[in-house]
């Protein structure tokens, strides 16, 4: 990969890693479910215009639309738990639990995709990553609220929904001639009703305090992360090998933990760093032979793209 492309890809990973930090910044001024409903609505509009200008299909009129609704609903639950969980736990912990996603994909692929069976290397990777999760869960950071384990658990549930979306795309949608950009639009568009419903059920009415940092964080989440970085990611996908791109994704949780420390002042105890190292090492082992699943990640729009 040329140096310029590598630098752009590292910048994209940094943008995704700092997304959890921006969520923590926006939470005091706008409740998380309100924020993510707004975020995905804006991103759906931007990506919808992009898909239209590229002369891609926005809405199919056959069973492909049903698949679009299905992945949109899963995407909605994914982001619901991602944002909601951020209220209870630290951003540095949340990003580690969220990025257990690849080994949930490996397990789902073993069950639903015959060509992606677990082997000894993948099992070792899963064991390493699981050990890392246990260590992070057991770590104690200053400022953690008593219910931090609720947030940790919600981030794991978010990772499970993310993995389910990826496996569904790989098992069903790739065989139904739906462009990757349209898949991303479906995820964003059909996630909005799920998120609006959750907002009304769990956060209505809510106090809103739109200070400059809160608005800036919302702009970052909606336009920089969910719109611009997604389009840059697709540009990279068309230019470079999937396996090379997938390897860089390991930088996302590293940027997330570092950003949480530098921006939010969160403590980085040895246990957290050790757990993060084990999770990253485990994901690396799992991903070594998951080139097909890496394509599934790209079809999801990079979320890898969180």
Per-residue confidence (pLDDT) for residue 106, from 0 to 100? 80
* pLDDT value, residue 287: 65
**Confidence class of residue 292 from pLDDT cuts 50, 70 and 90?**
very low
Q: Are 27 and 105 in contact (CB under 8 A)?
A: no
- Is the pLDDT at 176 greater than 60? The verdict is yes
Instruction: For residues 243-250, give the mean pLDDT.
Output: 69
CA-CA distances (angstroms) from residue 73 to 29, 39, 79, 215, 246?
26, 16, 10, 27, 25
pLDDT in tens, 102-117: 778 888 888 887 777 7
- d(C-alpha 46, C-alpha 32), whole Å: 21
Cβ-based neighbour number of residue 266 at 10 Å: 22
CA distance 252 to 53: 30
Which range among 30-39, 170-179, 213-222, 248-257 shows the weakest confidence by mean pLDDT? 170-179
Domain ranges of the chain: 3-299
Quick check: 13 pLDDT over 50?
yes
Based on C-alpha coordinates, what's the Rg of the chain?
A: 18
The pLDDT value recorded for residue 147 is 86
> What pLDDT does 3 receive?
83
The string of pLDDT tens digits covering residues 33-87 is 999 999 999 999 999 999 999 888 889 998 899 999 999 999 999 999 999 999 9
Residue 141, pLDDT > 80, answer no
Cβ proximity of 246 and 297 under 8 Å:
yes
Per residue in 17-30, pLDDT (tens digit) is: 999 999 999 999 99
What's the whole-model pTM score?
A: 0.85
197-241 confidence digits (pLDDT tens): 999 999 988 888 999 999 999 999 999 999 899 888 878 877 776
């Amino acid at each position: 990969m040329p140096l310029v492309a590598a630098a752009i890809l590292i910048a994209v990973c940094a943008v995704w890693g700092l997304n959890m930090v921006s969520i923590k910044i926006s939470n005091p001024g706008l409740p998380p479910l309100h924020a993510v409903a707004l975020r995905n609505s804006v991103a759906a509009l931007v990506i919808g215009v992009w898909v239209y200008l590229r002369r891609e299909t926005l809405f199919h009129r056959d069973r492909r639309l049903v698949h679009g609704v299905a992945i949109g609903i899963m995407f909605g639950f994914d982001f619901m738990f991602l944002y909601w969980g951020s209220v209870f736990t630290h951003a540095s912990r949340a990003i580690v639990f969220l990025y257990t996603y690849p080994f949930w994909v490996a397990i789902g692929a073993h069950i639903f995709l015959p060509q992606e069976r677990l082997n000894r290397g993948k099992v070792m990777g899963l064991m390493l990553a699981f050990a890392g999760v246990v260590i992070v869960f057991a770590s104690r950071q200053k400022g953690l609220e008593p219910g931090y384990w609720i947030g940790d658990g919600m981030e794991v549930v978010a990772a499970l929904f993310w993995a389910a979306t990826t496996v569904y795309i790989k098992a069903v949608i790739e065989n139904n001639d739906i462009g990757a950009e349209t898949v991303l639009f479906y995820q964003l568009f059909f996630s909005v009703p799920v998120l609006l419903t959750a907002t009304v059920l769990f956060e209505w009415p809510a106090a809103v305090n739109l200070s400059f940092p809160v608005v800036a964080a919302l702009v970052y989440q909606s336009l920089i992360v969910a719109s611009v970085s997604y389009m840059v990611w697709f540009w990279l996908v068309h230019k470079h090998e999937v396996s090379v791109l997938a390897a860089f994704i390991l930088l996302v949780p590293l940027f997330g933990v570092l950003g949480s420390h530098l921006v939010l002042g969160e403590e980085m105890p040895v246990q957290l760093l050790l757990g993060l190292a084990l999770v990253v090492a485990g994901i690396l082992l799992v991903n070594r032979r998951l080139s097909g699943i890496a394509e599934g990640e790209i079809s999801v729009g990079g979320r890898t793209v969180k």
